[in-house]
Amino acid sequence: MVNALQSTRRPGQPAGADLEARGENPAALTAFHRGLLGVRVALAAALLGGTIAAAPAAELQPQTVAAWNRYVEATERRIAAELENGRPDRFLVRDFVDGAAEARREVLAGRIRIDRLETRDADGERIRVPKGAIHHWLGSALIPDVTLEEVLHALIYAVEPKELQDDVIESRVLARPADDRLELFLKLRRKQVVTVHFNSEHSAAYTRHRPGLASSRSVATRIAELDGAGTPGEREKPVGRDRGFLWRLNTYWRYQQVDEGVIFELESISLSRGIPRLLRWMVSPLINRTAQDILTQTLASMAEVLSARAPAEFGKPAARALQP
């Protein structure tokens, strides 16, 4: 199994450095490419904005689910191997890829790192997803001036998900099977060209590893797109028979205590309907930009809230809102 971290340039490399090496004007070419990307995104927005409301329902197919399962199984094998490697200098996802030291310096300096990931099969081949698309991203950030135990207490007992993430507009605990496990309901709001709402249920489990290290896994067990969200006529569309914006969602988190606070990583894998081949050149940049924006906003919001709330909530009784 191969896990590939994709980036348009090496981490930390100044934009335009490769252009200067070829004797080209980086400012002019960068402006040109940004303009070209803007045109592509504008065309995609116009196209999707005019057609998406009338888009036919996309039914989730068994072969799409089978491909998703293969992708997740391969990814989780890699994650398990990384978490169990036992080396003191390797725990975060970025510790296992090139440029780990530089990426860590950036995160410790307060920058948010976002990269695309891709899991491949044992032969290094892409895992094809018929009638669907998998979106795999990695984000890293620092929660300053906190301890790992404070962060875990806040996440498990004290701070509601809707306080942490802008795209969560309602949250509640459905069950607490064990001290380190939660069953959650989240109402999600995702905005690309249009705003889409979902009712979703998630199973989350937290694991402590070596001292100063922890991880968690959250799997969406149910996702239903909403029609008429926020109106008296709000209703759920049939699960798996909607517009296909979000069919599956898994998130994998890692937390590491450092002198500056806690580094946390979010590895997100989601499944949506496929993008027609003729539209990929227009639509893909919009989807990628939106995914990066969502991850950046999520990590920034969580870092800000947990930096303030986690120390204050540590040791207090569990908040009523997080009781089943």
Q: From residue 225, how far is each of 196, 236, 238 by CA, in Å?
A: 7, 6, 8
- Give the other-Cβ count within 10 Å of 316's Cβ: 10
What would the mean pLDDT of 2-10 be, rounded to a whole number?
49
Residue 96, pLDDT score? 95
Among 16-30, 146-160, 201-215, the minimum mean pLDDT is found in 16-30
The Cβ-side half-sphere exposure at 282, using a 13 Å CA radius, reads 14
- The pLDDT tens digits of the residues spanning 74-117 come to 999 999 999 998 788 899 999 999 999 999 999 999 999 999 99
Whether residue 2 has pLDDT greater than 80: no
Whether residue 320 has pLDDT greater than 80: no
- The pLDDT tens digits of the residues spanning 268-277 come to 999 999 988 8
More confident: 319 or 155: 155
Name the CATH superfamily housing domain 2-6+26-322.
START domain (3.30.530.20)
Alpha helix segments (H runs only) across the chain: 17-21, 26-51, 62-83, 100-108, 148-153, 161-164, 280-313
More confident: 277 or 132: 132
Strands 113-120 and 58-59: unpaired
How far apart CA 88 and CA 93 sit, in angstroms, is 14
How far apart CA 203 and CA 278 sit, in angstroms, is 37
Instruction: Give this prediction's pTM.
Output: 0.83
- The pLDDT tens digits of the residues spanning 219-256 come to 999 999 999 999 999 999 999 999 999 999 999 999 99
